Chains A and B, each alone.
Chain A
């Protein structure tokens, strides 16, 4: 058997490694036809600067829902949402294009007018992942524009849900920050004469003091309003939050300063007040920094296509899913979702329910059988008759079941616990000082009490958490885990149990693993599915030769069965495979392109007399050999023991049964090691809707809880059970069948292969490639929390020093003005450096 050595080559367009479908074009390597097509398009339009700006900027084309449908852009509701204006034949549309990720993307999308003259202008808003295009709609319809964008890999995304991504950091945050900085700087300047002791002229002194009072007004009445509001809300609901000591401090500062200036005693603490607000608002700003282009919340409507094609007397019409009534005939193509419960009327259904139930392999449906909503068709076009409206369909019920479960248990936040203790401590100290001075020198009581309230600065407290967790979010994002907000970090640090889903989470969505099991010399069925290495070689008939593989592939190409499509992709027409193990095995990383034109190298294979028997297999004459592939009865072979839910495809050539292929979804690399690492300090569990768990995974989860046949409610109940026993659960899932469990668990993480894909509602989104890094992420979260605790210790030291001065009556405005910025800056610096170092060290571990 010839084995061609493949050197490690990466695609010029998207950067992924070129495996089986590698093509050479224009002296560049491409991993698939999709990438090559995009390159050609850009080359023709003279847009090859796309490749000059960044290396391998393209995104590999993965077909997903609604890829082929452009009719939905003719719908009034959709146009209303995306068309900003349309007049005199010129329209402006705004698309959401989450695929853009680099400067090349920006460059290409802003140079679209060079590809198509009807496009006048296009503008990108990178942080919102939006593209605004002005074009001549009369000459170039919207549907065509969408097709063009899809061709180059930047197809716009549209969902049924009401509103798109939020607009990022609210404007008021920036406005407040700007005003705070303005006032802080100016007030400090006005206070300089006081610090330097140059304020000798009475007139000048009062003048400056009144200036600082004037500047303090917006601080108290504009910048502090959110703190007062939050503190008041806390009082009303009888809880203590971090904003209460802050509000107290602000009030103390202001009233004390007014009193000092009014009675002519001193200059007041207005500079400290301005500084306090400035630092607090910086903390708030950093807290508002989340991933704006990703969506963490989902409504059920998001998962469905907006429209389906309905067959009417007048032809095929795009109809909204919500408008379907029982009796309508709809057409569903490959890779499209069946939106309502329906009966199959024409065609063969291979329905993939993995997103809904977790079963990995598609189930076959014949005409007359019912197809439930939520399944995805894998195969040729089918026609269905609607049985129930969407509102009554199984999907809706499934969703409702999961949503109605109990709420997730509340985990007390560190910041609230600290705020409570801090406030009580400060009040006690103030009280103690008041009592002491009441006895010693009553005139000092009020100054001392206000001094204590002023200097006990929760500023450092309020800053360390947003910055520590904010940095952690950023660093995790670089590695592939995108958190919803800072609280998730803290919850991750407390987790002691990790629950996994199987299909789509631990196994890849679209990638398959194909193994060949030859029949043994004595034609007995192989009892063990594992490849026997030592000493059993003589029992194995030689592996499928190149010629034989070519025959099988040529025949498989003519079948509509999804397993045939897998085989077509795995076997090369020139008979080579990618490794030389005695078990011939290849791994496909790309999804099956059902409607794509087949690569043009095999068309000279002579195939005749092809006959496909539904449910059994396909047979034909290929290069004058009689080839049969299909089930064991069809091929006259022995039924092999089916393990782990593999699908078996038997092969018979010229009447001789040769063996079978075992096809299953590939498990993600590095999972076993990751699970092992997690098990050193946490509990793990595996819950799946599938019927079986393959050996690799069952070994990794040996001794831990593994449950199969889990319905979505089973999974959620399982998590509730764990939580009732006091465990903190982190759930990793991906499909709709995990939605309830994800919402119920303390931290819910969804796994996705492309950030543009749909995921159920969760606290975090994990890139598929980064799943093995889960132990590192948990470690990072724990370290971040420890750093926050340490920084609280540091701020406590500052507070002790300040309070000591306050209690003894020696607090001066200058001292306060130095102490507060110093403590804030040093805490932020400590936290930043600490988190970066911790991340660096955790990265070294993997």
Chain B
């Protein structure tokens, strides 16, 4: 039954990793804005209105905002 301490140690390590990730997320400012990410993910990409079948073989990639860091 004393193996439980080994298990506790292992799971605590995993938990600490998550805690560290949380702290890192807070400090890099991910929680500073809690409103716009929720809204942003619902935005649709724009319709390819300037797609001309006769001259353009492929749709123009105009939505550079989607390319995030």
- Residues of chain A having any CB pair with chain B under 8 Å: 46, 49, 103, 106-107, 110-111, 113-114, 120-122, 124-128, 167-168, 171, 174-175, 178-179, 182, 186, 190, 201, 203-204, 207, 211
Contact = CB atoms under 8 A, between A and B. Distances in A.
Interface string B30-69: 0111111001101110110100000000000011110000
A113 B46 CA distance: 12
Given A113-B64, A122-B65, A211-B8, A178 B32 contact: no
Given A46-B49, A175-B23, A203-B2, A113 B65 contact: yes
Interface of B: 1-2, 4-5, 8, 12, 15, 19, 22-23, 26-27, 29, 31-36, 39-40, 42-44, 46-47, 49, 62-65
Contact of A174 (B15, B31, B63): B31
Given A46-B46, A120-B64, A204-B4, A178 B35 contact: no
Contact of A127 (B1, B19, B34, B44): B34
A190 B62 CA distance: 56
Given A46-B49, A127-B36, A171-B26, 7 more contacts: A46-B47, A106-B39, A107-B43, A110-B43, A127-B34, A128-B32, A186-B12
Nearest to A124: B36
A121 B64 contact: yes
Contact of B35 (A107, A126, A186): A126
Contacts of A121: 64-65
B39 A103 contact: yes
A310 B41 CA distance: 48
A186 B33 CA distance: 29
B32 A207 contact: no
Contacts of A168: 32
B43 A127 contact: no
A122 B36 CA distance: 13
Given A110-B40, A126-B33, A182 B19 contact: yes
A215 to B, nearest CB: 9
Contacts of B29: 171
Nearest to A52: B44
B26 A178 contact: yes
A289 to B, nearest CB: 11
Contacts of B5: 207
B43 to A, nearest CB: 5
Contacts of B32: 125, 127-128, 167-168
B58 to A, nearest CB: 19
A122 B29 CA distance: 18
10 contacts: A46-B47, A114-B63, A122-B65, A127-B33, A128-B33, A174-B26, A175-B27, A179-B19, A186-B15, A211-B8
Q: Is the interface of A mostly helix, strand, loop or mixed?
A: helix
A191 to B, nearest CB: 13
Contact of B19 (A46, A178, A203, A211): A178
Contacts of B64: 113, 120-121
Contact of A114 (B31, B42, B44, B46): B46
B30 to A, nearest CB: 10
A122 B35 CA distance: 16
Nearest to B34: A127
Contacts of B22: 178
Contacts of A201: 1
Nearest to A103: B39
Most buried by A among B4, B22, B32: B32
A275 to B, nearest CB: 18
A204 B6 CA distance: 12
Nearest to A182: B19
B36 to A, nearest CB: 4
B36 A126 contact: yes
B15 to A, nearest CB: 7
Given A110-B43, A125-B33, A204 B1 contact: yes
A125 B36 contact: yes
Contacts of B46: 46, 111, 114
Most buried by A among B15, B26, B36, B63: B36
Contact of B27 (A103, A106, A171, A204): A171
A593 to B, nearest CB: 32
A106 B2 contact: no
Contacts of A103: 39, 42
A458 to B, nearest CB: 28
Nearest to B49: A46
Contacts of B44: 49
Nearest to B26: A174
Contacts of A122: 65
A170 to B, nearest CB: 10
Contact of B2 (A113, A127, A167, A204): A204
Nearest to B35: A126
Contacts of B43: 107, 110-111
A139 B22 CA distance: 41
A179 B20 CA distance: 9
B65 A107 contact: no
A127 B29 CA distance: 12
Contacts of B26: 171, 174-175, 178
Contacts of A113: 62-65
A506 to B, nearest CB: 34
A337 B47 CA distance: 45
A370 B15 CA distance: 72
A107 B31 contact: no
A706 B15 CA distance: 66
A92 to B, nearest CB: 12
Most buried by A among B23, B29, B62, B65: B65
A174 B46 CA distance: 36
A46 B62 CA distance: 13
A168 B32 CA distance: 7
A333 B26 CA distance: 46
B36 A106 contact: yes
List 5 tightest A-B contacts by C-beta distance, closest first. A126-B35, A126-B36, A103-B39, A125-B33, A174-B26
A570 B62 CA distance: 46
B10 to A, nearest CB: 13
A127 B35 contact: yes
A126 B1 CA distance: 52
Most buried by B among A121, A179, A203: A121
A49 B5 CA distance: 57
B11 to A, nearest CB: 9
A107 B41 CA distance: 10
B65 A110 contact: yes
Contacts of A111: 43, 46, 65
B61 to A, nearest CB: 12
A200 to B, nearest CB: 10
A114 B63 CA distance: 8
Contacts of B36: 106, 124-127
A128 B15 CA distance: 32
Nearest to B46: A114
Most buried by B among A46, A168, A182, A204: A182
Nearest to A292: B32
Contacts of A126: 33, 35-36, 39
Contacts of B15: 182, 186
A124 B35 CA distance: 10
Contacts of A204: 1-2, 4
Nearest to A215: B12
Nearest to A107: B43
A114 B1 CA distance: 65
A518 to B, nearest CB: 55
A49 B42 CA distance: 12
A46 B50 CA distance: 11
Nearest to B38: A103
B65 to A, nearest CB: 6
Contacts of A110: 40, 43, 65
Nearest to B39: A103
B4 to A, nearest CB: 7
Contacts of A46: 46-47, 49
A567 to B, nearest CB: 44
